[in-house]
C-alpha cells in the first residue's frame, strides 16, 4: 500500500524588501526578514546569477536586482519575487560651514552662509552640543558657540560633521570722545583732532561735512564752518553711535597792531606809555620789552636808555599776527635851567630889555614869558618904562622841561 497527500498548489510569492525600508536607493543591501511556508526551501539569486539557498548581499556601488523564491515541502515553486535597487555606500562630503558675514572667530551675527548639500540630502544642525535638528536656530547669547552640521544623502549615508566655532558679540562699542587737538571750542586755526581711544581691533571711520565715510581723517582746510563725524566698528562688526564735532576753521592771521608812543614822540621820549591799540575782538594782546618774555600786560621800561617794545595779537582762533616793533630812547632827565641875563649886562635897572644869548640843549625848544603872560617860542622885549619880569625855560627833544629861569 502507498498513502500520500497530493499538493499541487504553489506557495505564494514572498514579500521582498530592504531591511532599512529604502526604496530604490540604499546604503545597505540587507533584506527584510522573509515569511516562507513552514518547511519551504528559500532560494536567492543576485543580479541574474545562480540560485543559492543563502543570501549574499551585493557590495558594489551599482544597480542590483535580487530575486527570491520558495519551494514548499510538496515541491511546488512559488512565483519569483524581485527587488531592484541601487547600492550607494559613499558618504557625502562634509559641508562647507561659515558665517554669513564672513567673520572669523568674532561676530555680531550667528547667521550661517548658504550651504550646498547634495540633491535630496537631509541637513541637520547642532548648536553647542545640543540635539540635532533639521533647521538652524542661531544662538543669541553673547558668548562662545559651536555649530555642527551634517548631511544625510538619499541613500542614508551620513557626511562627516562640519564644525564652526565663534564668539557672538552684539554689544555696540561706545561713541568715541571727539575733540580738536588744540583744545579749541567752536573757533580754531587747526582742524587736527585729538587722539581717539577706540576699542582694540576696532575700525575707526571719519566723515567730514556729510561726505563719505573713510578710514583715515583728512582735515578740512577751507576757512568756514565744518562738522566732523567719527564712529568705530568693533572686531565683531558692531557699530558705535556717531560722535560729532562742529567748529569754524579760521587760519587767517590778524593784522599787525599799530604801535606808537602815547605822546606821539618819535625816537626820543620822556614817557614809554603806548598809544591805545585796536586789536581784533576777542584777541589776546601780548607785549615783549627789550627781547624779554611775552606778557599779557605792558610794563613800561623806566631806565633812561634805548628800548624796543614788541606787540602781537592772537585771535580767538589761535592765529598769531606779525609782530609790531617800536624802538625808542627813554630820557626822563630834565635839562638845566637856562642862564638868563640882560644883553648889556645891567643889573636891576636898564635902558634895554634885550636878553643875552642863551645856550639851550641841542634840539631844545626855548620859551619865553613876559610879566606872567603866555609862554611864547620867541622873545618880545617889553618897551614900557616900568618894572618887568622875564621867565625862560627849555624843553628838550625828549619833552623834559627845565626849571624856569627868571630875570626882573
Half-sphere exposure of 241 (CA within 13 A, CB side): 6
Q: How far apart are CA 45 and CA 30, in angstroms?
A: 14
The whole-angstrom separation of Cα 286 and Cα 271 is 20
Calpha distance 68→37 (Å, rounded): 13
Cα 135 from Cα 378, distance rounded (Å): 119
Average pLDDT value for residue range 136-165: 98
* Mean pLDDT estimate for the chain: 97
Rounded to whole angstroms, the Cα distance separating 387 from 353 reads 11
Question: Measuring CA to CA, which residue among 116, 110, 61, 50 is closest to residue 85?
Answer: 61
What pLDDT band is residue 319 in, cutting at 50, 70 and 90? very high
Predicted confidence band at 405 (pLDDT cuts at 50, 70, 90)? very high
Round to whole Å and give the CA distance between 15 and 205.
Answer: 73
3-state SS track over 3-69:
CCCCCCCCCCCCCCCECCCCCCEECCCCECCCCCCCCCEEEEEECCCCCECCCCCCCCCCEEEEEEE
For 290-308, how does the pLDDT look when each residue is reduced to its tens digit (9 = 90+)? Answer: 999 999 999 999 999 999 9
CA distance 381 to 351: 12
Predicted confidence at residue 68, as pLDDT, reads 98
Please report which confidence band the pLDDT of residue 1 belongs to, taking 50, 70 and 90 as the band edges. very high
* pLDDT score recorded for residue 54: 98
pLDDT value for 222? 98
147-162: average pLDDT: 97
**Cell numbers describing residue 216:** 583715515
Whole-number pLDDT of residue 361: 96
Q: What is residue 173's DSSP assignment? A: P
Q: Are 146 and 163 contacting, i.e. CB atoms less than 8 angstroms apart? A: yes
Looking at residue 140, its pLDDT comes to 98
User: What is the three-class DSSP state of 263?
Assistant: coil
pLDDT at 316: 95
Q: What is the mean pLDDT of residues 22-40?
A: 96
Q: What pLDDT is recorded for position 84?
A: 98
CB 73 within 8 A of CB 6: no
Predicted structure pTM score? 0.70
Question: Which pLDDT score, from 0 to 100, does residue 301 have?
Answer: 98
In 193-341, at which residue ranges do the beta strands (DSSP E only) sit?
Answer: 203-208, 225-233, 243-249, 268-269, 284-289, 306-314, 324-330
Amino acid at each position: 500500500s502507498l498513502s500520500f497527500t497530493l499538493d499541487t498548489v504553489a506557495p505564494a510569492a514572498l514579500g521582498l524588501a530592504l531591511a532599512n525600508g529604502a526604496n530604490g536607493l540604499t546604503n545597505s543591501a540587507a533584506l527584510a526578514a522573509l515569511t516562507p511556508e513552514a518547511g519551504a526551501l528559500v532560494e536567492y539569486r543576485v543580479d541574474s546569477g545562480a540560485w543559492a539557498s543563502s543570501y549574499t548581499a551585493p557590495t558594489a556601488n551599482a544597480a542590483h536586482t535580487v530575486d527570491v523564491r520558495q519551494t514548499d515541502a510538496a515541491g511546488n515553486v512559488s512565483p519569483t519575487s524581485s527587488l531592484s535597487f541601487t547600492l550607494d555606500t559613499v558618504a557625502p562630503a562634509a559641508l562647507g560651514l561659515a558665517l554669513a558675514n564672513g567673520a572669523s572667530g568674532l561676530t555680531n551675527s550667528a547667521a550661517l552662509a548658504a550651504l550646498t548639500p547634495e540633491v535630496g540630502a537631509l541637513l541637520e544642525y547642532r548648536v553647542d552640543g545640543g540635539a540635532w535638528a533639521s533647521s538652524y536656530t542661531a544662538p543669541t547669547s553673547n558668548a562662545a558657540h559651536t555649530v555642527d552640521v551634517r548631511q544625510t544623502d538619499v541613500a542614508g549615508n551620513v557626511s562627516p560633521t562640519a564644525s564652526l566655532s565663534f564668539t557672538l558679540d552684539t554689544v555696540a562699542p561706545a561713541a568715541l570722545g571727539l575733540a580738536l587737538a588744540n583744545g579749541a571750542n567752536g573757533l580754531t586755526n587747526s582742524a587736527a583732532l585729538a587722539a581717539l581711544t577706540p576699542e582694540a581691533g576696532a575700525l575707526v571711520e571719519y566723515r567730514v561735512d556729510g561726505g563719505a565715510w573713510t578710514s583715515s581723517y583728512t582735515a578740512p582746510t577751507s576757512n568756514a564752518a565744518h562738522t566732523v563725524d567719527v564712529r568705530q566698528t568693533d572686531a565683531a562688526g558692531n557699530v558705535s553711535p556717531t560722535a560729532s564735532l562742529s567748529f569754524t576753521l579760521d587760519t587767517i592771521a590778524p593784522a599787525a597792531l599799530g604801535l606808537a608812543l602815547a605822546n606821539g614822540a618819535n625816537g626820543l621820549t620822556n614817557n614809554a606809555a603806548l598809544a591805545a591799540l585796536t586789536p581784533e575782538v576777542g584777541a589776546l594782546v601780548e607785549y615783549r620789552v627789550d627781547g624779554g618774555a611775552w606778557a599779557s600786560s605792558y610794563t613800561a621800561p623806566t631806565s633812561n636808555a634805548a628800548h624796543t617794545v614788541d606787540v602781537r595779537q592772537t585771535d580767538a582762533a589761535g592765529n598769531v599776527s606779525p609782530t609790531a616793533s617800536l624802538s625808542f630812547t627813554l630820557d626822563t632827565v630834565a635839562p638845566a635851567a637856562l642862564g638868563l641875563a640882560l644883553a648889556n649886562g645891567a643889573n636891576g635897572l636898564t635902558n634895554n630889555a634885550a636878553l643875552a644869548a642863551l645856550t639851550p640843549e641841542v634840539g631844545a625848544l626855548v620859551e619865553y614869558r613876559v610879566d606872567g603872560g603866555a609862554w611864547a617860542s620867541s622873545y618880545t622885549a617889553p618897551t614900557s618904562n616900568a618894572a618887568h619880569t622875564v621867565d625862560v625855560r627849555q624843553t628838550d627833544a625828549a619833552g623834559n622841561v627845565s626849571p624856569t629861569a627868571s630875570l626882573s
